[in-house]
Amino acid sequence: MRYGNIKKILVTGGAGFLGSHLCERLILQGHEVLCVDNLFTGTRTNLKHLLNEARFELLRHDVTFPLYVEIDEIYNLACPASPVHYQFDPVQTTKTSVHGAINMLGLAKRTKARVLQASTSEVYGDPEIHPQPEEYWGRVNPIGFRSCYDEGKRCAETLFFDYHRQHGLEVKVVRIFNTYGPRMHPNDGRVVSNLIVQALRGEDITLYGDGQQTRSFCYVDDLIEAMMRMMATGPEIAGPINIGNPSEVTIRQLAEVVLDVTGSSSRLIHRPLPPDDPRQRCPDITRAREILGWEPTVPLRQGIEKTVLYFDRLLAEHRL
């Protein structure tokens, strides 16, 4: 299947926020990309600049059903990733993580492809250890409103490592922390998109709880670079490896940056904290630094400026 360094690469969830950026980078590297998405949260608009590329193909398909293609590498990103989307149909969310992992691992086993799982910092739940190293097993509520996503991703990791041990499959697992940038869904309920859209519309900006809960925000370009470096590691590197920004900010500080960048006069208002919302979330990226030679390079304000430009255009075009 390989012609020189050109590979046939499958990206599930490729029409989504992260997936579309990944497809773009892979095409720029000269690879052939098969993007698979059921378009539940992803959109063709995210890929409009790639649709006429000869080396790019978009296939509408749900990963809970098997897929029969010939492939060299698989990036498994398929799954709604924001609470408003993954709680819409929690049973389907769990199926996407678990059945999707089984189907992609089966495909990788048949084609002898290398396969990367986009896992999540949600596997740590509401952590007792801070920052979170990969050795930490987490503190997750298995029956809560977020469990369909948290436990689905944890089960997917289990499947990846069991296929690795039982079948010798070459797997890569990365745990993705908060990521932001252009092509985020405007109504995904995530804090960055929420704050920016509210500020641009001049609406009150909603902070949950006292706004002192902390997160770490990684710009999408940095995140994609880490994923691709992980895929390029040798067969002895399976992970998991945290990828995210180790610089913490409070949600209130983030809101103040957004207000400053947008020049908005929106007011900050407070609402009750959602169930199982973690107070702290920050990666220990020691492994990423040592194994991948990677750490984030885009400062928060610079990334927010680029993201604001995207949402400003989007709101103007669609009058959202």
Whether omega before 240 lies within 30 degrees of 0, making that bond cis, reads yes
Per DSSP, the chain holds a count of helices (H) and strands (E) of: 9, 13
Tell me how crowded residue 171 is: count the other CB atoms within 10 A of its CB. 26
Whole-angstrom distance, CA of residue 21 vs CA of residue 221: 8
Sequence-distant (≥ 6) Cβ neighbours of residue 143 within 8 angstroms: none
* Catalytic-role residue among 75, 86, 124, 149: 149
Residue pair 6/32 in contact by the 8 Å Cβ criterion: yes
**What are phi and psi for residue 7, nearest 5 degrees?**
-125, 155
Which ranges of the chain would DSSP assign to H, the alpha helix? 17-28, 83-86, 90-111, 147-167, 191-201, 220-231, 251-262, 286-287, 300-318
Tell me how crowded residue 119 is: count the other CB atoms within 10 A of its CB. 25
Residue pair 254/211 in contact by the 8 Å Cβ criterion: no
Whole-angstrom distance, CA of residue 160 vs CA of residue 198: 39
CA 44-49-55 angle, to 5 degrees, is 95
Residue pair 297/235 in contact by the 8 Å Cβ criterion: no
Please say if 149 is a catalytic residue. yes
Whole-angstrom distance, CA of residue 231 vs CA of residue 215: 26
Whole-angstrom distance, CA of residue 12 vs CA of residue 289: 27
Q: Which residues are catalytic?
A: 149
